[in-house]
């Protein structure tokens, strides 16, 4: 029996738009452009080994990290898919030190887009899952074209956020504040098809994801919390691509943590285009994300590339981590 009830991303976006009578369609067009860029990146990721696109681009980015050719390719793919359509007033990217202004020849729109165009770069050459993370805010600056304040907004003001995971299949998962929905790319028709409607994260984690090699460098309260977790029956999985670790934990139930350490006192992960968009997604799926003291979504940004400690995933463990690390309480023994 052929399943004719196929819901494509385009159809889903249109049906979602109808829920908002005041919608202009501008936001929908941004999602179409993101989906197009995702297909273009997926094509390169899928043939990276034969397309001379593996390896390093021979320079470092603002983060002081080696830039890979696929970082550059993905960054350009998303910028060029989005900048011309008149829906965005400004962009920010992990790969660009400053905001990316919309070229004068293009109209601007009422949204700002922030992105990690390629997350998990260190895994590219090993053919391990990688991803793209995006965050969308409403324009708040007074001028006709966008400004940095359109990017420096707290996560609780995001109008949409999501990610693409380039794995055994390619999935786009996003939220606009009405739940979290996952679409799987069907390469035979080049469409993202609704495969995971209304994703909900399990209340309790099954999986712990952390880079244990950093344990000796973590603050004492983080080490003692990690010790308490070891006394329970979790399994450990750490891919080293935030999007992949996050996506697995979202579906199975898990706690991902990247705490501060002696070398990185603010942690490694970036607030605006890693932590905040995934925090919006996880909260919409019933989970939580914290820096160890407050919700990631309530952090007021001061810089484009600022880093934050990140504890994200199932609500039980993430709220327990925050209570423990902030000194409010020790973990409940019932969790044993
Ligand atoms: P990016 O490739 O965008 O720089 O992100 C890499 C991040 C994140 O994907 C992952 O969770 C983390 O780096 C892994 O860091 P460690 O290798 O220090 O564990
Ligand atoms: Mn990243
Ligand atoms: Mn990246």
For a mutational test of ligand 1's pocket, the pick from 126, 133, 207, 242, i.e. the residue with the most ligand atoms closer than 8 A to its C-beta, is 242
pLDDT tens column, 48-57: 777 666 667 7
Distance from the alpha carbon of residue 149 to the mean position of ligand 3, in angstroms: 22
Yes or no: say if 310 and 275 are a contact pair by the CB < 8 Å rule.
Answer: yes
Yes or no: say if 54 and 124 are a contact pair by the CB < 8 Å rule.
Answer: yes
Whether ligand 1 lies within 6 angstroms of the CB of 116 is answered as yes
Confidence of residue 322 (pLDDT cuts 50, 70, 90): very high
Distance from the alpha carbon of residue 241 to the mean position of ligand 2, in angstroms: 7
Whether ligand 1 lies within 6 angstroms of the CB of 211 is answered as yes
Least confident of 70-74, 178-182, 313-317: 70-74
Whether ligand 1 lies within 6 angstroms of the CB of 305 is answered as no
Residue 296: per-residue pLDDT: 98
In this model, does residue 58 exceed pLDDT 80? no
- Pick one of 3.40.190.80, 3.40.1390.10, 3.10.20.30, 3.40.228.10 as the CATH number of 207-325: 3.40.190.80
Residue 220, Cβ density class (10 Å: 0-12 exposed, 13-18 middle, ≥19 buried) = exposed
Helix then strand then coil, in percent of the chain rounded to 5, is 35, 25, 40
Ligand 1 atom nearest the C-alpha of 120 is 2
Helix (H, G, I), strand (E, B) or coil at 207: strand
Mean pLDDT of 182-209: 97
DSSP 120-150: -GGGGGGT--EEEEEEEEE---SSSS--GGG
Distance from the alpha carbon of residue 252 to the mean position of ligand 3, in angstroms: 24
Ligand 1 atom nearest the C-alpha of 63 is 4
Question: Which residues belong to CATH 3.30.540.10 in the chain?
Answer: 9-196
Report the percentage of the chain scoring pLDDT > 90. Answer: 81
Least confident of 20-29, 126-135, 161-170, 294-303: 20-29
Name which of 40, 139, 94, 52 is nearest 243 in CA terms: 94
Q: Which residue has the CA at smallest separation from atom 14 of ligand 1?
A: 240
In this model, does residue 3 exceed pLDDT 80? no
Whether ligand 1 lies within 6 angstroms of the CB of 210 is answered as no
Could you tell me the CATH superfamily of domain 9-196? Fructose-1,6-Bisphosphatase, subunit A, domain 1 (3.30.540.10)
Chain center to CA of 316: 21
Distance from the alpha carbon of residue 334 to the mean position of ligand 1, in angstroms: 33
pLDDT tens column, 202-236: 999 999 999 999 999 999 999 999 999 999 999 99
Confidence of residue 328 (pLDDT cuts 50, 70, 90): confident
Rg (CA), the chain: 19
Residue 336: per-residue pLDDT: 44
Residue 64: per-residue pLDDT: 74
Distance from the alpha carbon of residue 71 to the mean position of ligand 1, in angstroms: 13
pLDDT tens column, 241-261: 999 999 999 999 999 999 999
Whether ligand 1 lies within 6 angstroms of the CB of 267 is answered as no
pLDDT tens column, 130-184: 999 999 999 999 998 999 999 999 999 999 999 999 999 999 999 999 999 999 9
Strand boundaries in 38-169, DSSP class E: 56-60, 66-68, 88-93, 100-101, 111-119, 130-138, 160-166
pLDDT tens column, 271-287: 999 999 999 999 999 99
Distance from the alpha carbon of residue 172 to the mean position of ligand 1, in angstroms: 20
Give 284's strand partners: none
Mean pLDDT of 305-319: 98
Ligand nearest to the CA of 74: 3
For all residues of the chain together, what is the average pLDDT?
Answer: 92
Whether ligand 1 lies within 6 angstroms of the CB of 121 is answered as yes
Whether ligand 1 lies within 6 angstroms of the CB of 268 is answered as yes
**C-alpha–C-alpha distance, residues 74 and 71, integer Å:** 5
Whether ligand 1 lies within 6 angstroms of the CB of 241 is answered as yes
Least confident of 24-28, 233-237, 330-334: 330-334
Ligand nearest to the CA of 66: 1
Question: Which residues belong to CATH 3.40.190.80 in the chain?
Answer: 207-325
Yes or no: say if 211 and 122 are a contact pair by the CB < 8 Å rule.
Answer: no
Residue 63: per-residue pLDDT: 74
Give 93's strand partners: 115
In this model, does residue 315 exceed pLDDT 60? yes
Q: Which residue has the CA at smallest separation from atom 12 of ligand 1?
A: 240
Residue 331: per-residue pLDDT: 56
């Amino acid at each position: 029996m052929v399943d004719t009830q196929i819901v494509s991303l385009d159809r889903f976006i249109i049906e979602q738009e109808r829920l908002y009578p005041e919608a202009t369609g501008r936001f929908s067009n941004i999602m179409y452009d993101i989906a197009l860029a995702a297909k273009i990146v997926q094509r390169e990721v899928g043939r990276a080994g034969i397309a001379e696109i593996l390896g390093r681009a021979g320079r470092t980015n603002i983060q002081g990290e080696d830039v890979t050719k696929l970082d550059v390719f993905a960054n350009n793919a998303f910028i060029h898919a989005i900048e011309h359509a008149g829906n965005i007033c400004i962009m920010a990217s992990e790969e660009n030190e400053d905001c990316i202004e919309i070229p004068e020849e293009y109209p601007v729109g009422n949204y700002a887009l922030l992105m990690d165009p390629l997350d998990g770069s260190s895994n590219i050459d090993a053919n391990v899952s990688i991803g793209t993370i995006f965050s969308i805010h409403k324009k708040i600056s007074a001028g006709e074209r966008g400004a940095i304040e359109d990017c420096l907004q707290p996560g609780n003001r995001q109008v949409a956020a999501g990610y693409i995971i380039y794995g055994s299949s390619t999935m786009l998962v996003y939220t606009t504040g009405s739940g979290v929905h996952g679409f799987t790319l069907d390469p035979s028709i080049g469409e993202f098809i609704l495969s995971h409607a209304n994703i909900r994260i399990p209340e309790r984690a099954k999986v712990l994801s952390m880079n244990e090699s950093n344990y000796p460098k973590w603050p004492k309260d983080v080490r003692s919390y990690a010790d308490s977790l070891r006394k329970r029956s979790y399994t450990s999985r750490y891919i080293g691509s935030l999007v992949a670790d996050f996506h697995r934990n979202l579906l199975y139930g898990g706690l991902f943590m990247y705490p501060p350490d002696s070398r990185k006192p603010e942690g490694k992960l970036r607030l605006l285009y890693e932590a905040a968009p995934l925090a919006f997604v996880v909260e919409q799926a019933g989970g939580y994300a914290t820096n160890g003291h407050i919700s990631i979504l309530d952090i007021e940004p001061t810089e484009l590339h600022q880093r934050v400690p990140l504890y994200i995933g199932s609500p039980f463990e993430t709220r327990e981590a925050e209570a423990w690390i902030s000194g409010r309480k020790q973990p409940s023994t019932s969790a044993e």
